[in-house]
């Protein structure tokens, strides 16, 4: 190590030890809720105070997000979910919708460019509009979680969301997104009427009514009350009105009359599923992620590579450390780009990709002094998408996160997403269609090629880490392709550098653009690397000297914003990323 790099390593380590946080860590001994705003946290906490468990609270928080955070997530969206009930193994719920039966690769190759789209979108999947919709998966995902692991009724968990839908004071971010997308919303009268109530542009702090959405949630709760039988049968009635009853018919009818591909038969046939997690091991901890229909396993692949290095000795955010983590992430994401897709439709070389032996071979590809500018997937049968950039007609507003731990030690970790602005509202339902179909590819033979009934490979990726079989921390974040890059860095902050939860989420981060983007408005940039300006200038220069194509952005510019709940020695410790104003509360 040169004298200059030694000084940089020591300076980075000292900075990490002396770090002060913008927000204090939140600690408690009973329960904790982390989410994107005060309404979501309050909704979850209301359930806990009423005797509900983490699942009841998590479902209530997600429903509240579908009202108060529609810039990033709506009721027509999707959600992978990790649930760990005390004393039982973790499970995954796939609340991710599938492509409708009419959605074929050939249809989208020949589809004409629409009025609101960039002319360059010809022959590509749309990123906005009703033709970008997959089936709404989040509702049945929540109902499945509630039926199997919760204790409350749908009427109880939806009560906060209904209250907010009647009116709530809209925040700066939501109001800004509504106004920024107003030109596109003009194309869809139902959306314009929904997001501009009374024709008024929402301003921060204005009481914002969403009566159509309130009525839909009330109809769902009423269906439950009218149903006979036990709790599960009453919850099944909520599923039926949404996917087989009056609401389904309205969603399907509007789609068919307005150029969409969703039909009633698609909705009636949809069911969320309980799935087994993908697991990995890192320095004695067990990493729990959703499967290859998400990008979740990419974290395990990166950690397998990094386990062969003494990261702590390198120094936190030193040039050696950043270079090593970036290069490991690039290799893991190259495999994601080539191999990940819905395992029901594609043969995924999962055992190879997740093995320590494969990671050891991949580790040999990392040059400690030089950034790779090649996209290097491994394993057999690599098939890369043909396009290196997404359609440019609009960038996604992307995703939110909800994490809950209750006093029994039950854990709920979710990444709700989809149906974000600018969204098409399904008639008078107040339900926005998802635009997640853009995450498929059209390339023949690719694991993630669009096919009817198939789940797109989503970027959504909640995380649970176990120590000795018990929950150690739960985490999720928005951020598209950056989700597992950001959370990888937070995991290393917690496990290798023993930071507090708040220190771990606030520490300066990188974001690699050396991957095939999953959402519109992004592009593949070989060697592209965004660094937050809080990193020391000599560190940034050292990364440039190693060949990284560095862009220095604002001090808090990283595109992700996790909440983390750590469980250690009877103490809950929460971290809420200030980058997007996350909220966390516990006692």
User: In whole angstroms, what is the distance from residue 313 CA to residue 322 CA?
Assistant: 13
For residue 539, the model assigns a pLDDT of: 98
User: In whole angstroms, what is the distance from residue 568 CA to residue 495 CA?
Assistant: 13
Q: How many residues does the chain have?
A: 587
Q: Enter the DSSP assignment of 121.
A: G
Joined tokens for residue 547 = 């060949």
The residue with tokens 């949630």 is 217
Helix (H), strand (E) at residue 288: strand 285-289
Helix (H, G, I), strand (E, B) or coil at 194: helix
Would you say 294 and 439 are in contact if contact means Cβ atoms under 8 Å apart? Answer: no
Would you say 404 and 357 are in contact if contact means Cβ atoms under 8 Å apart? Answer: no
Would you say 126 and 117 are in contact if contact means Cβ atoms under 8 Å apart? Answer: yes
Angle at CA 525, nearest 5°, toward 181 and 9? 110
User: In whole angstroms, what is the distance from residue 21 CA to residue 269 CA?
Assistant: 49
Task: Walk along the chain (587 residues) and give the pLDDT tens digit of each residue.
Answer: 443 444 344 344 434 444 589 988 899 999 999 999 999 999 999 999 999 999 999 999 999 999 999 999 999 999 999 999 999 999 999 999 999 999 999 999 999 989 888 887 778 899 999 999 999 999 999 999 999 999 999 999 999 999 999 999 999 999 999 999 999 999 999 999 999 999 999 999 999 999 999 999 999 999 999 999 999 999 999 999 999 999 999 999 999 999 999 999 999 999 999 999 999 999 999 999 999 999 999 999 999 999 999 999 999 999 999 999 999 999 999 999 999 999 999 999 999 999 999 999 999 999 999 999 999 999 888 888 876 544 434 444 589 999 999 999 999 999 999 999 999 999 999 999 999 999 999 999 999 999 999 999 999 999 999 999 999 999 999 999 999 999 999 999 999 999 999 999 999 999 999 999 998 777 899 999 999 999 999 999 999 999 999 999 999 999 999 999 999 999 999 999 999 989 999 99
Residue 129 backbone class (left: φ over 0; alpha: ψ -120 to 50; beta: rest) = left
Report the candidate in 75, 51, 241 with the shortest Cα–Cα distance to residue 162.
75
For β-strands 273-275 and 402-405, DSSP reports them as: unpaired
Would you say 208 and 169 are in contact if contact means Cβ atoms under 8 Å apart? Answer: yes
Joined tokens for residue 205 = 């702090």
For residue 384, the model assigns a pLDDT of: 84
For residue 321, the model assigns a pLDDT of: 98
User: In whole angstroms, what is the distance from residue 9 CA to residue 510 CA?
Assistant: 17
Would you say 443 and 124 are in contact if contact means Cβ atoms under 8 Å apart? Answer: no
- DSSP characters over 478-542: --GGGHHHHHHHHHHHHHTS---HHHHHHS--EEE--S--SSTT-B--TTEEEEETTS-HHHHHH
Q: Enter the DSSP assignment of 73.
A: -
For β-strands 549-553 and 207-208, DSSP reports them as: unpaired
The residue with tokens 């930071």 is 499
Residues designated as active site: 399
Joined tokens for residue 292 = 């290859």
Would you say 329 and 488 are in contact if contact means Cβ atoms under 8 Å apart? Answer: yes
User: In whole angstroms, what is the distance from residue 214 CA to residue 80 CA?
Assistant: 24
Would you say 157 and 59 are in contact if contact means Cβ atoms under 8 Å apart? Answer: yes
Q: Where in the chain is the domain with CATH 3.60.20.40?
A: 3-28+277-385+461-586
User: In whole angstroms, what is the distance from residue 204 CA to residue 172 CA?
Assistant: 5
For residue 388, the model assigns a pLDDT of: 54
Helix (H), strand (E) at residue 66: helix 54-68
Joined tokens for residue 430 = 């107040």
Helix (H), strand (E) at residue 147: helix 138-149
Joined tokens for residue 415 = 């990444």
User: In whole angstroms, what is the distance from residue 184 CA to residue 337 CA?
Assistant: 30
User: In whole angstroms, what is the distance from residue 442 CA to residue 255 CA?
Assistant: 22
Fold topology of 3-28+277-385+461-586:
3.60.20
Joined tokens for residue 141 = 């995902």
For residue 200, the model assigns a pLDDT of: 92
Q: Is this prediction's pTM over 0.75?
A: yes
């Amino acid at each position: 190590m040169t004298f200059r790099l030694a000084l940089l390593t020591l300076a980075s380590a000292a900075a990490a030890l002396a770090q002060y946080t913008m927000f204090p860590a939140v600690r408690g001994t009973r329960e904790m809720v982390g989410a994107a705003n005060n309404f979501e946290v309050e909704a979850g906490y209301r359930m806990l105070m009423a005797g509900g468990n983490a699942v009841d609270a998590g479902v209530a928080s997600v429903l509240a997000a579908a009202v108060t955070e529609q810039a990033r997530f709506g009721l027509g969206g999707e959600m992978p979910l990790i649930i760990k009930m005390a004393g039982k193994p973790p499970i995954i719920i796939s609340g991710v919708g599938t492509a409708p039966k009419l959605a074929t690769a050939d249809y989208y190759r020949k589809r004409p460019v629409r009025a609101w789209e960039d002319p360059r979108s010809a022959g590509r999947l749309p990123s906005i509009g009703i033709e970008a919709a997959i089936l709404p998966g989040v509702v049945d995902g929540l109902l499945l979680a509630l039926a199997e692991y919760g204790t409350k009724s749908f009427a109880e968990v939806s009560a906060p969301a209904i209250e907010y839908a009647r009116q709530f004071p809209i925040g700066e971010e939501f109001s800004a997104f509504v106004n920024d997308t107003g030109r596109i919303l003009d194309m869809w009268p139902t959306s314009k009427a929904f997001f501009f109530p009374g024709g008024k542009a929402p301003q921060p702090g204005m009481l914002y009514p969403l009566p159509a959405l309130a009525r839909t949630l009330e109809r769902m709760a009423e269906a439950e009350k009218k149903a006979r039988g036990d709790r599960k049968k009453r919850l099944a009635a909520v599923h039926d009105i949404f996917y087989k009853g009056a609401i389904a018919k309205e969603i399907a009818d509007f789609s068919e009359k307005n150029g969409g591909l969703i039909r009633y038969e698609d909705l009636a046939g949809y069911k969320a599923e309980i799935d087994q997690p993908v697991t990995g091991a890192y320095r004695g901890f067990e990493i729990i992620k959703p499967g290859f229909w998400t990008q979740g396993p990419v974290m395990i692949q990166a950690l397998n590579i990094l386990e062969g290095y003494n990261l702590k000795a390198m120094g936190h955010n030193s040039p050696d450390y950043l270079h090593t983590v970036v290069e490991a992430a690039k290799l893991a994401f190259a495999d994601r780009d080539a191999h990940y897709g819905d395992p029901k439709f594609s043969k995924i070389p999962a055992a190879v990709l997740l093995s320590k032996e494969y990671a050891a071979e991949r580790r040999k590809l990392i040059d400690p002094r030089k950034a790779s500018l090649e996209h290097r997937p491994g394993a057999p049968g690599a098939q890369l998408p043909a396009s290196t950039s997404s359609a440019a007609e609009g960038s996604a507003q992307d995703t939110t996160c909800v994490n809950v731990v209750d006093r029994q030690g039950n854990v709920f970790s979710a990444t709700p997403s989809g149906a974000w602005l600018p969204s098409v509202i399904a008639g008078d339902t107040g339900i926005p269609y998802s635009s997640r179909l853009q995450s498929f590819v059209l390339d023949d033979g690719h694991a993630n090629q669009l096919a009817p009934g198939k789940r797109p490979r989503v970027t959504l990726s909640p995380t649970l880490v176990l120590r000795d079989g018990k929950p150690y921390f739960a985490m999720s974040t928005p951020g598209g392709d950056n989700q597992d890059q950001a959370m990888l860095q937070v995991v290393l902050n917690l496990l290798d550098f023993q930071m507090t939860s708040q220190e771990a989420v606030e520490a300066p981060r990188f974001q690699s653009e050396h991957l095939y983007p999953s959402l519109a408005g992004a592009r593949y940039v070989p060697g592209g690397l965004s660094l937050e300006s809080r990193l020391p200038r000599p560190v940034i220069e050292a990364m440039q000297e190693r060949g990284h194509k560095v862009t220095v952005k604002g001090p808090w510019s990283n595109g992700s914003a996790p909440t983390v709940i750590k469980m250690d020695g009877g103490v809950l410790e929460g971290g809420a990323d200030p980058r997007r104003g996350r909220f966390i509360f516990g006692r």
